[in-house]
Structure 1
């Protein structure tokens, strides 16, 4: 199970001013807390810094790496910012977030994935936009795996994101994701499945409950990577419990360690 800490994102109210003011101590403390709470990767996203994203990405990567040894997940739609972040990243195998099946996006991002030997999150989205069904998602999954592996990307470095859409806008959208994840796990067992969870509950009350429940369902279906807030103790508690229940926690050691650390108090 791979946990990607999502908190270093300039769309967050507390983070944007810290980045604008180059408050390294704030950013480094946030990175440390996420790793200490169980994040294996630290996501770095400065996409709201429209006018200086390239310079900001480089600063963030260097600043975070001074504080933690965990590898980084670089989250940007801008190729120049991605290139700057990848060039600066030194901690282990960096992750690119993200590539899609869209022709232009694929052709821009793929060379960087290959150049830096990065892991890559591949969104199940093509030139026609976000798919409306599990069938459409599975078609894009096949295309992405085919094209990425043909280019030389190892299956183990591919993290397919089925693109969660809010169940408030369609009652079958949760089921579409589960069906897609089951297909990935059954047909391509060496490829990973990854997602953020919060979109499933958009527009509804008690969002944390829905997010937690969907995490449990998706893990049972075969999801093995999440972009989430590792400082959310309740969510992390369900992560460890779910891993134990689906046989991904040898002798329940992860669950027992979480218990001993007081996560369930």
Structure 2
């Protein structure tokens, strides 16, 4: 499971002032904690700072990469902020995100290719948000085919089928799971990721829904999530699920996690 640590995002109440004030100690502590908890990428998002997003993104990338070894997920809809982050990023970055919207696709694709970045591909086109599994499959297929034809390898594509709250439609979970199943069967080299906590938005006991969804989605082929790696319970469940799904040779990772206390959550 490829875990993208979501905590450095200025939409979070405690993070926005830290980025505004260039509080290096706070941001670096948050980055190191996520890496230490097993994050494979650290997401950096300063999208709420609209007037200074480009400068803030440059500061974030430099600040976080001073203290972590894992690569970053540079997260912005603004091509200028993406480019500034990619310019100074050390190593291969993940970009969040591109869509099938014509303008956004044409703005983002050259950056992916120039900086040899991996890319989160959101299943959205000029028609707007997907409504059902068929919409997600159709738009995801177009994105995968277009990106492949434009020289992006399938293993660098992270399809995000767009998780919408189950509270808005009780069939939403099934629709998304069916889409994940179809996409992974058709394109086994492509990754599937998601903003995990979106599924539970607006409902009580949100961690329970997040935990249930990630296990079900993993069983359909999802192999990545944008999530809180400091949630010890969900990390323990993901570790166990990887073992059950046959992704843990000789149960080595499970045994190692047990010895280190990770499974005690």
TM tier relative to shorter chain: over 0.9
The match for 2:61 is 61
| 1: CA distance, partners of 2:126 / 2:20 | 34
The match for 1:151 is 150
| 2: CA distance, partners of 1:46 / 1:256 | 38
1:109-128 equivalence runs, <5 A: 109-128=108-127
Q: Deviation string for 1:183-218 (max 9, x for gaps)?
A: 111111111111111111112111100000000000
The match for 2:22 is 22
Q: Deviation string for 1:145-187 (max 9, x for gaps)?
A: 1110010000000000000111111111111111111111111
| 2: CA distance, partners of 1:70 / 1:134 | 33
1:34-49 equivalence runs, <5 A: 34-49=34-49
Aligned-partner SS, 2:70: coil
Aligned-partner SS, 2:192: strand
Aligned-partner SS, 2:262: coil
The match for 1:78 is 78
Asked whether the equivalents of residues 141 and 183 of structure 2 are also in contact (C-alpha less than 8 Å), the reply is: no
Instruction: For residue 13 of structure 1, report the CA deviation from its aligned partner.
Output: 1.4
Stretches of structure 2 lacking an aligned partner (at least 5 in a row) = none
| 2: CA distance, partners of 1:63 / 1:5 | 16
Instruction: For residue 10 of structure 1, report the CA deviation from its aligned partner.
Output: 0.8
Stretches of structure 1 lacking an aligned partner (at least 5 in a row) = none
Asked whether the equivalents of residues 4 and 73 of structure 2 are also in contact (C-alpha less than 8 Å), the reply is: yes
The match for 2:260 is 261
Aligned-partner SS, 1:52: helix
Q: Deviation string for 1:91-141 (max 9, x for gaps)?
A: x31000000000111011001001101000000001011111101111111
Q: Which consecutive aligned stretches of 4+ in structure 1 deviate over 2 angstroms post-superposition?
A: none
2:69 is aligned with 1:108? no
| 1: CA distance, partners of 2:262 / 2:7 | 20
1:109-258 equivalence runs, <5 A: 109-258=108-257
1:6-21 equivalence runs, <5 A: 6-21=6-21
Aligned-partner SS, 1:55: helix
